[in-house]
Amino acid sequence: MVIVGLGLIGGSLAKAFTKYTDCHVAGFDTDPATLEEALACGAITKAGDDCDLAGADIVYLCLYPQADIDFVKTHLSSFQKHTVVTDVCGIKAEVCRGLCALAKEGGFTYCGAHPMAGTEKHGFSASRADLFTGASYILVPCGAPEKVQELLRQTAFALGFGRSVSTTPEQHDRLIAFTSQVPHALACAYVMSPRCPEHRGFSAGSYRDVSRVANINEVMWSELFLDNRTALTEELDTLLKNLTDIRNAVAENDHDKLEELLRQGRLVKEELGE
């Protein structure tokens, strides 16, 4: 296996391969200290080079979207016909378009993916072998053959993933705008309240849960947000509208309207069995 980029996700993949499989992992990272740390703790067996790319069964691209594309461009001649290239980007339309074009040009197979796992921390130091336990592994095949999809799925299950779904880049990005991007935008907007620094002693689980992911890597998330700006803008508009409805019912002291709005929220959760 080759893993390109030993941040939270790449580092965790490396550690999971080492813990749960017999695979040898060659790792790329532009930071020498990270490479050294990954070697020292046994997460990778060697620092990757072009020979590793040429010999790899699967190459996991674990950089930011544009950096993934740039990496493949730079090393295009090293990728072989038998190699399966996949990525872990949180947004798929842009990166799938770029990598599909390069796969055609370079003659390798590309199959997009998005491991639905993470924490509010980032970097190799936050990575851990059990990050993916029970998580969902989203495949975005973009026309990759079924046997390639099956290879990636079975490899994911070996690393601890609990389920896998397949979808198109567009549907992926619409759903991720809701399930992941909106909560991150929300967390940042929430903690900007002038009340936030005074919360200690007056807060419990609700504050903790909504604010958790405000501890954001703003460089990565800005890129992810803007790569998905149509779907994300639409989701944020939906949320702003629904939240404004609740705000107006409160401001206007409209008890029946408020109770009806809150009931709708409860019913959605109940119907989902959550």
Q: Which of residues 213-242 bind a copy of itself (CB under 8 A)?
A: 213-219, 221-222, 225-226, 229, 232-233, 235-240, 242
List the interface residues with a copy of itself, window 66-125 (CB under 8 A). 116-119
Q: Is 9 exposed, middle or buried (0-12, 13-18, 19+ CB in 10 A)?
A: buried
In angstroms, what is the minimal distance from the CB of 102 to a copy of itself?
24
- The Cα 182–Cα 242 span in angstroms is 13
Size of the site for a copy of itself (CB under 8 A): 92
Give the number of residues written for the chain. 274
- Please list every residue from 123 through 162 that binds a copy of itself, using CB under 8 A: 135-136, 138
Residues 4-33 close enough to bind a copy of itself by CB under 8 A: none
Residue 190 touches a copy of itself, criterion: CB under 8 A: yes
Residue 15's nearest CA partner among 153, 128, 134 is: 128
Question: Do residues 115 and 161 touch, judged by C-beta distance below 8 A?
Answer: yes
Query: Least distance to a copy of itself from the beta carbon of 123, Å?
Result: 14
SS3 of 109-133: EECEEEECCCCCCCCHHHCCCCCCC
Nearest approach, Cβ of residue 170 and a copy of itself (Å):
13
Please say which residue, 39 or 186, places its beta carbon nearer to a copy of itself. Answer: 186
CB of 61 to a copy of itself, least distance (A): 20
Q: Least CB distance from residue 99 to a copy of itself, whole Å? A: 20
Q: Tell me the C-alpha distance between 183 and 129, whole Å.
A: 25
Question: Which segment (8-16, 52-60, 74-82, 201-209) binds a copy of itself by CB under 8 A?
Answer: 201-209
Contacts of 195 (CB under 8 A, 6+ apart): none
